[in-house]
């Protein structure tokens, strides 16, 4: 005998109550960060990263980012990135990839309130390695960038990123898991006068909603080669989608 709607009501009420608490907590976090941002000139990045499996060995990625000097409205950068990755092993722990970036930038002139805007294109080649150990997830990314700007020579830059995620409420990161994440990334210019370009230290709190969607919120501190330091709130949405055609099972007919 099936369970009636009224029999499910307590379960539904508990679920909605839990979702309500999460929504209230996220709202309070966002409003608090927004108030802090306005008081301290803290910037914010809003980002989407989609990974789409198109073959057992290949996936394509689409990344868009809206970056602001404040919480919203004062443009810093707009980014569109597309790329493809090839799995060097069956489990995808080793992947080689390449991609293309389009950047729109608005930069302040010195300490004035005036801005200049410019665009740039980037090509990148990368190698990514991934490991899991109990409740920890590790990712290493080695990336070479080729930067193209109008009336400038092509620039080459190397980036190394270490990402660590730790599951908080489960033994492994899976749907329904809260986790803490740390990103440590160093940028090195191939040519001077300053070889050290910048360093990112990012710490976020993440939640994997289901097998398709994961969200993160946190902060990134940036240290640049010219001695400048800033902080940017981070809001990320990760989308994983399997676009491979599923094989249909056909029951053999009578001969």
Residues 122 and 232 in one domain: yes
- 209, two tokens: 């909603």
Percent of the chain with pLDDT over 70: 80
pLDDT at 227: 85
Q: Is the pLDDT of residue 17 over 60?
A: no
- 78, two tokens: 């707009």
Residue 251 in domain: no
Percent of the chain with pLDDT over 90: 74
Q: Do the beta carbons of residue 106 and residue 127 sit within 8 Å?
A: no
Domain total of the chain: 2
The span from the CA of 100 to the CA of 104, in Å, is: 14
Q: Tell me what the mean pLDDT of segment 61-85 comes to.
A: 96
Residues 31 and 89 in one domain: no
Residues 94 and 17 in one domain: no
Nearest Cα residue to 34 out of 202, 179, 217, 207:
217
Residues 48 and 36 in one domain: no
Nearest Cα residue to 240 out of 211, 217, 208:
211
Q: Which domain holds residue 14?
A: 1-40
CA angle 153, 107, 193 (to 5 degrees): 40
- 131, two tokens: 């490991």
Residues 151 and 111 in one domain: yes
The span from the CA of 86 to the CA of 36, in Å, is: 42
Residues 112 and 151 in one domain: yes
Nearest Cα residue to 59 out of 94, 90, 93, 97:
97
Residue 139 in domain: yes
Residue 99 in domain: yes
Cis omega (within 30 of 0) on the bond before 228? no
Residues 70 and 34 in one domain: no
Residues 120 and 155 in one domain: yes
Strands 75-87, 94-108: pairing kind: antiparallel
pLDDT at 11: 42
Residue 103 in domain: yes
Residue 254 in domain: no
Residue 194 in domain: yes
Q: Is the pLDDT of residue 125 over 80?
A: yes
Q: Largest Cα–Cα distance in the chain?
A: 83
The span from the CA of 254 to the CA of 75, in Å, is: 67
Query: Does this model's pTM top 0.85?
Result: no
- Report pLDDT digits (tens) over 190-219: 997 889 999 999 999 999 999 999 999 999
Residue 253 in domain: no
pLDDT at 25: 53
Residues 114 and 195 in one domain: yes
Residues 5 and 89 in one domain: no
């Amino acid at each position: 005998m099936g369970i009636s709607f009224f029999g499910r009501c307590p379960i539904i009420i508990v679920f909605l109550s839990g979702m309500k608490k999460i929504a209230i907590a996220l709202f309070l976090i966002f409003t608090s960060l927004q108030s802090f941002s306005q008081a301290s000139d803290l910037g914010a990045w809003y980002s989407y990263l989609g990974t789409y499996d198109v073959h057992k060995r290949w996936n394509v990625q689409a990344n868009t980012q809206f970056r602001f000097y404040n919480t919203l409205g004062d443009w810093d950068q707009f980014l569109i990135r597309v790329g493809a990755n090839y799995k060097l092993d069956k489990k995808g722990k080793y992947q080689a990839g390449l991609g293309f970036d389009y950047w729109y930038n608005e930069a302040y002139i010195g300490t004035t309130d005036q801005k200049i805007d410019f665009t740039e294109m980037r090509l990148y080649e990368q190698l990514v390695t991934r490991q899991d150990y109990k409740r920890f997830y590790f990712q290493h990314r080695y990336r070479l960038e080729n930067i193209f700007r109008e009336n400038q020579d092509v620039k080459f830059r190397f980036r190394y990123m270490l990402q660590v995620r730790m599951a908080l409420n489960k033994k492994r990161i899976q749907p329904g898991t809260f986790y803490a994440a740390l990103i440590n990334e160093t940028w090195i210019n191939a040519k001077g006068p300053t070889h050290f370009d910048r360093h990112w230290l990012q710490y976020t709190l993440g939640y994997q909603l289901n097998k398709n969607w994961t969200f993160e919120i946190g902060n990134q501190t940036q240290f640049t080669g010219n001695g400048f330091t800033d902080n940017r709130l981070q809001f990320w949405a990760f989308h994983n989608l399997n676009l491979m055609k599923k094989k249909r099972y056909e029951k053999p007919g009578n001969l």
